[in-house]
Amino acid sequence: MKLLIVESPAKAKTISKYLDGKYVVKASVGHIRDLPKSNKKAIDIEAGFVPTYEISKGKEAVVAEIKSLAKKADEILLATDPDREGEAISWHIAEATGLKKPKRVVFYEITKDAVIEAIKNPREIDQNLRKAQEARRVLDRLVGYDLSGLIWKKVRYGLSAGRVQSPALRIIMEREREIRAFKSEQFWVITADTKTANKIALLLTCAEEPRDKSLVEKIVETGKIDSWIVVDVTETEAKRSPKAPFITSTLQQTASTRLGFAPSRTMGVAQKLYEAGLITYMRTDSTNLSAVAVGQILSTIESKYGKELVSPRTFTKKSKNAQEAHEAIRPTHMGSDNAGNTPEQQALYALIWQRTIASQMADAKILRSKIEVAVGSDTTIPHFSANGSRTLFPGWLLADPDARGEDVELPKVTVGEKLTFVDIHTEEKSTEPPPRYSEAGLVKELEKRGIGRPSTYAAIIKTLEERGYVEKINKALCPTDTGDVVSTFIEDNFKDYISDTFTAEMEDKLDDIANGDRTYEKTLGDFYKPFLKDVKSKEKSAKITDMGEADAKHICPKCGKSMMIKLGKGGRFLSCKDFPDCLGARTIDGVEQAGPKETGEACPECKTGKLIERDGKFGRFISCNKYPKCKFIKKDAELERQNSTGVECPTCKTGVMTERKGRFGLFYSCSNYPKCKNAIKAKPTGNICPMCQSLMMDGTKTIPERCSNKVCPNHNPHKLDKVK
């Protein structure tokens, strides 16, 4: 038996069709191992940034099945995606299942010829590519863990920061500050309705947009009484060349502007098209097209549009490290401009087909024309003009008509011709600040600055939205109050680490690891040691962030002092300047809030604080007003008694397992929390697991009782039996 392993069931289904039963094709369904969630200790820094991986939740059965099949296989091929992440997935599969000498095959398109050719040329797993991906994963975990921990202390609990998401947020905030600082100016747009000697209507626009109303009035009065004479007519032939075939960033940008797709949606749809064998791999920096593909493209152009439209051309790479794939994103078969199983797949496929075909077609020829008109003889009156263009030869626009634009053909006039005045109009407007970034605009900006790589653009934007740092309003990415505060804190304290230069240089270093020109340990060490030193320094020196002083009209409702704008889980609010000594609070609009209430008790832990009632995610609770310096929480003895299961905690031996409510529903944890953090999902039965000595808990419909330890075979014996 021969075994071929991919990461996607859809990809497995497509490949199986081409192999005529010679291989058993199985899918890992993405990653099967990862670093433990929210655990910095998973990385042994002292040993050289060595990560400890664990089987991803729900992948135990997949691992067991691959192990079972591998024992019977004479040949094992790993055929995951042809990029760093795909290389890492292959390595994890081999490591987790104990594969002996598996071979790696890659194909950039899932067609019969490409698959068979790849199988003929297997290679070893590329450890440089794998290490580059591991370096990125470890680096992001360390930065995120340390930086997020500091933000919890200085800004608000539960927030996070990342190595690449933070520079992206900074870019959005820089634009937002430009918008806030922008001072609008009034100006006027002046247009005139005229007719040519042949009685054809001609709309003219004043070449200037005056700021002075007196000048506007003068132009209008002069226009009504003076002559309108054509002083210049120019016609210029210009060429419009086609754009390069799509790379990841340009596909995301064009799909956003033409189809309204978010980058994450574009990549999801493109993944489906790739797995179905309809397009080449969709994560790429390269604009190259293979010789075979170019031959198919030229043949399609000749048969569909005519031989005179054929114009082979090559495009230079936009990235110096176009390592993600060998070709641009293109259809695998050029004959059809319609493919895909859903309307969104068909729309994206058509976009890719049009761009690919157009890239090898003749230039379009455009005639641009301009008519310039003088009003009277007063030289202080600016000229009026009309601009137009029309297509003389469509060229590549035949294949990509949406790129054409609208033809505006001007009437024929001659220099010296007198126009008939009909009417003149003025419209008062205001100058506008620079626009906020759209998703497409941010992808373009990230690519321009060298921040991130093709596989990360969509994830960066999605992360910013999911964490509530930006929100999309009318296609524009607007920073939230939370995003504003987080970005400001990071910019004030870690400016060097989120600069364009530093972030782009780190991407280049990861590329060097992939190319074998730099070592994993040195790259991480050179970055992390000074970074950690800065984090520890900022723990002492960085100020707890607020958003400045409130308007003087808003005073504390309790003590009458001034108030500060602060950030809470519900957004901005006003807090007394003397907090936590004074608990006065208002909404951002100035309405008094029922804030925390004093209990009259002193904090038994820090001795200097006062106990207050607070509103938490799961109801009211009592804690010290010195939080986060003092984390004392007073237990409600009656509530603990009502929720107690009576089962002794096996970890600390002094507490009892108590029912609690968390973000994912009910769970059971030790009554000595937070000193003892033992917790399980289901109600404990009181019995001890004979295999690992952990608590047994309520089971499922098919398992009456099971171990609370996830890694114990007794945790889900029914599932284990099915695998066997």
Residue 142 tokens read as: 């360390």
CB 573 within 8 A of CB 594: no
Residue 332 falls inside a structural domain: yes
- 59-73, 183-197, 426-440, 577-591 — which is least confidently predicted? 577-591
CB 51 within 8 A of CB 134: yes
| CA distance readout (Å), 416 to 192, 230, 382 | 18, 5, 17
Q: In this structure, are 567 and 614 located in the same domain?
A: yes
The model's pTM is 0.77
Q: With pLDDT > 70 as the criterion, what percentage of the chain qualifies?
A: 94
Q: In this structure, are 237 and 370 located in the same domain?
A: yes
Nearest to 503 by CA among 159, 252, 143: 143
pLDDT at residue 639 greater than cutoff 80: no
Specify the CATH number for the domain of residue 18.
3.40.50.140
Residue 620 falls inside a structural domain: yes
Residue 517 tokens read as: 């020109």
Task: Provide the domain count of the chain.
Answer: 6
H or E element, residue 552: none
Residues forming the active site: 281
Specify the CATH number for the domain of residue 232.
2.70.20.10
pLDDT for position 591? 84
pLDDT for position 20? 86
CB 55 within 8 A of CB 32: yes
Residues 6+ apart with CB under 8 A from 670: 649, 651, 652, 655, 656, 657, 658, 676, 677, 678, 679
pLDDT in tens, 239-257: 999 999 999 999 999 999 9
| CA distance readout (Å), 700 to 458, 661, 703, 707 | 38, 20, 5, 12
pLDDT at residue 722 greater than cutoff 50: no
Residue 558 falls inside a structural domain: no
Please say which residue of 575, 606, 634 terminates a domain: 634
Q: In this structure, are 341 and 486 located in the same domain?
A: no
Residue 286 falls inside a structural domain: yes
Residues 680-690 have a mean pLDDT of 86
Q: In this structure, are 619 and 666 located in the same domain?
A: no
CB 652 within 8 A of CB 610: no
pLDDT for position 182? 96
Helix count (H) and strand count (E) of the chain?
A: 18, 30
pLDDT for position 540? 86
pLDDT averaged over every residue in the chain: 89
Burial of 552 from C-beta contacts in 10 A (0-12 / 13-18 / 19+): exposed
Residue 115 tokens read as: 């698959």
Residues 645-672 have a mean pLDDT of 84
β 201-206/186-195 pair status = antiparallel
More confident residue, 597 or 182: 182
Q: In this structure, are 475 and 514 located in the same domain?
A: yes
Rounded Cα distance between 269 and 473, Å, is 23
Residue 546 falls inside a structural domain: no
CB 286 within 8 A of CB 347: no
pLDDT in tens, 96-134: 999 988 999 998 999 999 999 999 999 999 999 999 999
**Cα 82 versus chain centre, distance:** 21
Rounded Cα distance between 244 and 253, Å, is 14
Nearest to 442 by CA among 572, 291, 249: 249
More confident residue, 257 or 622: 257
Rounded Cα distance between 256 and 243, Å, is 17
State the pLDDT confidence band at 411, using cuts at 50, 70 and 90.
very high
Residues 6+ apart with CB under 8 A from 48: 520, 521, 525
Rounded to a whole number, what is the distance in angstroms from the first to the last CA of the chain? Answer: 19
Name the residue range of residue 29's domain.
2-125
Specify the CATH number for the domain of residue 287.
1.10.290.10
Q: In this structure, are 118 and 164 located in the same domain?
A: no
Residue 593 tokens read as: 């809030």
Rounded Cα distance between 561 and 24, Å, is 75
Q: In this structure, are 12 and 63 located in the same domain?
A: yes
pLDDT at residue 476 greater than cutoff 50: yes
Residues 162-188 have a mean pLDDT of 95
Residue 269 falls inside a structural domain: yes
pLDDT in tens, 427-455: 999 999 999 999 999 999 999 998 988 88
Residue 555 falls inside a structural domain: no
- The residues facing 239 across adjacent strands are 365
Please say which residue of 89, 106, 125 terminates a domain: 125
Nearest to 83 by CA among 234, 246, 308, 286: 286
State the pLDDT confidence band at 329, using cuts at 50, 70 and 90.
very high
Residue 330 falls inside a structural domain: yes
More confident residue, 458 or 546: 458
pLDDT in tens, 541-564: 887 666 778 888 899 998 989 998
pLDDT at residue 410 greater than cutoff 90: yes
More confident residue, 586 or 230: 230
Note if the bond before 312 is cis, omega within 30 degrees: no
Q: In this structure, are 274 and 219 located in the same domain?
A: no
640-645: Cβ within 8 A, 24+ apart: 640/671, 644/671, 645/683, 645/684, 645/686
Residue 61 tokens read as: 């059965």
Proportion of the chain in helix, strand, coil states, percent, rounded to 5: 35, 25, 40
Q: In this structure, are 349 and 369 located in the same domain?
A: no
pLDDT for position 720? 46
pLDDT for position 723? 38
- 209-218, 367-376, 648-657 — which is least confidently predicted? 648-657
Q: With pLDDT > 90 as the criterion, what percentage of the chain qualifies?
A: 62
Residues 6+ apart with CB under 8 A from 389: 366, 367, 368, 369, 405, 407, 408
Q: In this structure, are 716 and 696 located in the same domain?
A: yes
Please say which residue of 358, 378, 413 terminates a domain: 358
pLDDT for position 324? 44
pLDDT for position 635? 67
pLDDT at residue 480 greater than cutoff 50: yes
pLDDT in tens, 53-97: 999 988 999 999 999 999 999 999 999 999 899 999 999 999 999
Rounded Cα distance between 248 and 270, Å, is 10
Rounded Cα distance between 42 and 49, Å, is 9
Residues 314-320 have a mean pLDDT of 70
- Whose structure tokens read 């003749």? 362
- Whose structure tokens read 């978010």? 262
Q: In this structure, are 391 and 470 located in the same domain?
A: no
Rounded Cα distance between 139 and 148, Å, is 14
- 591-605, 633-647, 668-682 — which is least confidently predicted? 633-647
Encode burial over 561-584: b for 16+ CB neighbours within 10 A, e otherwise.
eebbbbbeeeebbbbbbbbbebbb
Region for 452 from its dihedrals, namely left if φ exceeds 0, alpha if ψ lies in -120 to 50, beta otherwise: left
Q: In this structure, are 118 and 7 located in the same domain?
A: yes
Residues 191-196 have a mean pLDDT of 97
pLDDT in tens, 300-316: 999 999 999 999 999 87
State the pLDDT confidence band at 618, using cuts at 50, 70 and 90.
low
Residues 273-294 have a mean pLDDT of 92
Rounded Cα distance between 253 and 262, Å, is 9
